[in-house]
């Protein structure tokens, strides 16, 4: 890579970080706690969001930004049907959301009526890790069927997270998944990350996740 290409890439990231800082300031001003939810396709991001709405509403008012590579509103429609505001952001084929897209999504939401903003990033274990959106916390959802080696294959996405959600725990009896090996991989990359085991199908562990969220929302609200 030439020096000019390096400078261009640095400029892109610097501009993104500045926009992310602006997003964060707006969220702070509105006393909204925001998370960037990342995962591979099919790990259960939308399912967990719907379970979260079910358990936390109406005492916690939730808004959702849905990122997708295609101009479809399937996930946003599910959130709206559950009674919460949602915005679908089409990335135009890009494999991640960035701070500018986040800014556009925020502008379309009723911020005065939101306590918790969940950003469902594009399903990908590589690209989303590189772009700051301005959220307060980063969360990765993994799932048992994906295998226990993901922290070793895609280390970058686990390094900056606050919570790792291990979903589809109801499938543990049927899949060769080494929980100790998986947890060790997370700890190697991020010793401080909290690991919460859930099953969106049975509801197992989802309350623990919602308790974590509630505590964070209350901290921001002061």
Proportion of the chain above pLDDT 90, given as a percent:
86
What is the length of the chain?
Answer: 222
Range of the domain at 211: 3-221
- Return mean pLDDT, the chain: 93
Question: Is 138 in contact with 36 (CB distance < 8 Å)?
Answer: yes
Domain count, the chain: 1
pLDDT for res 70: 81
Q: Could you report the per-residue pLDDT of 157-215, keeping only the tens digit for each? A: 999 999 999 999 999 999 999 999 999 999 999 999 999 999 999 999 999 999 999 99
Question: Is 121 in contact with 34 (CB distance < 8 Å)?
Answer: no
- Cα–Cα distance, 95 to 55 (Å, whole number): 30
- Residues contacting residue 175 through CB under 8 Å, at least 6 positions apart: 144, 145
Average pLDDT over residues 108-137: 96
Q: Would you tell me how many other CB atoms lie within 10 Å of the CB of residue 216?
A: 18
pLDDT level of residue 8 (50, 70, 90 thresholds): low
Of 31-40, 68-77, 105-114, 115-124, the poorest mean pLDDT is in 68-77
Show the tokens assigned to 44.
Answer: 């259960």
Q: What is the CATH number of the domain that holds 107?
A: 3.40.50.300
Question: pTM score, two decimals?
Answer: 0.93
Pairing of strands 33-39, 194-197: unpaired
């Amino acid at each position: 890579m030439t020096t000019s290409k390096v400078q261009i890439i640095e400029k892109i990231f610097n501009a993104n970080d500045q926009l992310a800082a602006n997003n964060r300031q707006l969220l702070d001003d509105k006393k909204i706690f925001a998370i960037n939810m990342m995962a591979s396709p099919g790990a259960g991001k939308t399912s967990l969001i719907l379970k979260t709405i079910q358990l936390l509403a109406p005492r916690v008012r939730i808004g959702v930004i849905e990122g997708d590579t295609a101009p479809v509103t399937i996930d946003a429609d599910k959130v709206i049907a559950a009674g919460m505001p949602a915005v679908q952001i089409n990335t135009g084929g890009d494999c991640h959301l960035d701070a500018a897209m986040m800014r556009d999504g925020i502008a379309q939401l009723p911020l005065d009526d939101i306590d918790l903003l969940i950003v469902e990033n594009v399903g990908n274990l590589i690209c989303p890790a590189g772009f700051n959106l301005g959220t307060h916390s980063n969360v990765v959802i993994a799932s048992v069927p994906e295998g226990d080696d993901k922290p070793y294959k895609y280390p970058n996405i686990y390094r900056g997270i606050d919570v790792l959600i291990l979903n589809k725990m109801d499938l543990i009896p049927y899949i060769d998944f080494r929980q100790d090996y998986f947890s060790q991989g997370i700890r190697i990359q991020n010793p401080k990350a909290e690991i919460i085991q859930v099953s969106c199908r049975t509801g197992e562990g989802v309350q623990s996740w919602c308790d974590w969220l509630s505590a964070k929302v209350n901290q921001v609200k002061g």
